[in-house]
Every structure is written in C-alpha cells, then in structure tokens.
Amino acid sequence: MIGLPPGNILQYLHLKERLNVHLKDGAKKFIEVGSGNGNVSRLFLNKGYHGIGFDLNQSACDNNTALNAKFIKNKSYQIYNDDFITKENLEKVDIIISCMVIEHMPNEILNNYFEKCFETLNTGGMLITLVPSSMKHWGIEDDIAGHIKRYEFNDFNAIAKKYEFKLNKINGLTYPISNLVFSISNKLIQKKESDKLKLSQKEKTIYTGNRNVKYKTSFPQVFNVILNPITMYPFHLLQKIFENNKNNMVIYCELLKK
C-alpha cells in the first residue's frame, strides 16, 4: 500500500469534517470530476454516498476501480474514463467535487465546466472545489502539471456571481506545512519530472491524474506510521487557525446552487 503525502492527508481531514456536516442535510449523490486513483471518492463512499467518478487517465481509473471495488460491486459507484463536461444524460446529484482540476482549464472550458455543474446539481446542491492557490507560489510543479493559474480567495467571489452560485464556505488549507517544504518539493520535482515539461497542455493534464513521485505524491508504506490522520491531526488544527492566511497554497470552496 502506498502512503499519502501530508498535504493530501490534511485536505482529506478537512473534507471529512465537511462531509459530516452535509450528511445531516441528507445529501447522498455525488460526482467527482478528476477522480484520479479514487481516494476522495472513497471518502464519500465510506460516508454512505452513492456516486460517479470521471477521469481522463485510464491508469488512474484502473487504480480507482481496484481501490473502490466493493462499492462498484454493490452498484453504489461508477467510474468513467471520460470527460464530465461532454457527458450527456447525467442524473442530477447533490454534490459535485473536483480536487486539483479546474486550474488546468482555459477560460472557455472553465465556463463550460461551471455551466455543466450548475445544470447537473439539484437545487440546493453544492459544488466543492479544491485548487492550488497563491500565484506568488507558482513553481515548476505548476508548469509540469499544465496549470493555467493558481487561484486567490477573491476569484471565487467572481465565480459565484457569474454562475449564480451562493458562496457557502471558503478557506485555505495545508498552511504552514506546505509552505515549509515548498522549496524542497520544487527541487524534487525538478529532478524527477522535468522531462514532463515537453508534454502538451492536454498530456500534462492527463498525466497528473496518476502521478507517482516518491516522497512527493506518494510515500512508502513504512511512512504510514508517521504520516496518518492521527499523527497529522495537530497540523489539521493548525491549518484551521491559519485558514484565512493569503499564503495558503490550497483553497477549499463550497458553492451552493440557489
């Protein structure tokens, strides 16, 4: 079993808390756009949600299938190696989530994405978005991943207004731990992934659905002893204290369909 990096653990701890809140509201159906290896979808499925995962990377879909096999077997989860935006005849859902996805989208595709989300959500449904944030922290990882931008807090006020959503919650995540390892992370990526700079924008986007960089996107199983939800919980509490700090390198946002 491959261990998760500390930043992902912190994001998942926050997401688990928010899902507990939304379960009380009776939300049961979800779509994950850019489901990757299936870790986020698994959080939903373990909470009793039923849903669909979309990803353009076939190997990521294969990993997701293996991880969430029991939910696929009981028909509470489906996986599509397909484009959510162009998929037709989707059933309306209560939550749509994307983690590290929309930063890849140029304006025209981004517009289509938010319109598709609005169309697919039930009234009162929620769009959850996690994105890399703070443009001053642009680095080689953004270039390799094919990012168009890193988001700022104010960007989501504009998005909510343009697409007629209500901003329900927005906060930063992973500060200060991501900031402390930022330079080390960039050096590791430069060493391990610099060859990916030659890929096209689309190829970079698909590639990031299943990155495997040791000590960056994954850790050997032995690290689970020190990198797990219990040991990382103090840092989870710390990120709550600094959730409004503009130096946060991840933004979590909830938008409600009016």
Per residue in 16-38, pLDDT tens?
999 988 877 666 899 999 999 99
User: What is the distance between the alpha carbons of residues 64 and 203, in angstroms, rounded to a whole number?
Assistant: 20
Residue 71 has φ and ψ, to the nearest 5°, of -75, -30
Name, in order, each residue with C-beta under 8 angstroms of 108's C-beta and a sequence gap of 6 or more.
none
Q: Look up residue 107 and give its amino acid.
A: N
Helix ranges (DSSP H) in 47-124 = 58-67, 69-73, 107-120
Q: What is the pLDDT of residues 29-86, one digit of tens each?
A: 999 999 999 999 999 999 999 999 999 999 999 999 999 999 999 999 999 999 999 9
Residues 153-162, mean pLDDT to the nearest whole number: 97
The CATH number, out of the four listed (3.40.50.720, 3.80.10.10, 1.10.3720.10, 3.40.50.150), of the domain defined by the range 6-257: 3.40.50.150
**Residue 1 in this model has a pLDDT that exceeds 50:** no
- Report the pLDDT value the prediction gives residue 27, as an integer from 0 to 100: 63
Name, in order, each residue with C-beta under 8 angstroms of 89's C-beta and a sequence gap of 6 or more.
none
| Contact of 79 with 73, CB cutoff 8 Å | no
What is each CA distance from 91 to 30, 50, 94, 117, 233, in whole angstroms?
10, 12, 10, 12, 36
Instruction: Work out whether strand 165-173 and strand 50-54 pair parallel, antiparallel, or are unpaired.
Output: unpaired
Buried residues in 97-128 as b, exposed as e (16+ CB within 10 A) = bbbbbbbbbeeeebeebbebbbebbeeebbbb
- Report the pLDDT value the prediction gives residue 2, as an integer from 0 to 100: 60
Question: In which band, very low, low, confident or very high, does the pLDDT at 226 lie, cut at 50, 70 and 90?
Answer: confident
| Contact of 10 with 232, CB cutoff 8 Å | yes
User: What is the distance between the alpha carbons of residues 207 and 26, in angstroms, rounded to a whole number?
Assistant: 35
Give me 237's structure tokens: 């509490």
Residues 107-129, mean pLDDT to the nearest whole number: 97
To 10 degrees, the CA torsion angle through 148, 249, 170, 207? 40
User: What is the distance between the alpha carbons of residues 214 and 201, in angstroms, rounded to a whole number?
Assistant: 23
Model confidence, pTM: 0.93
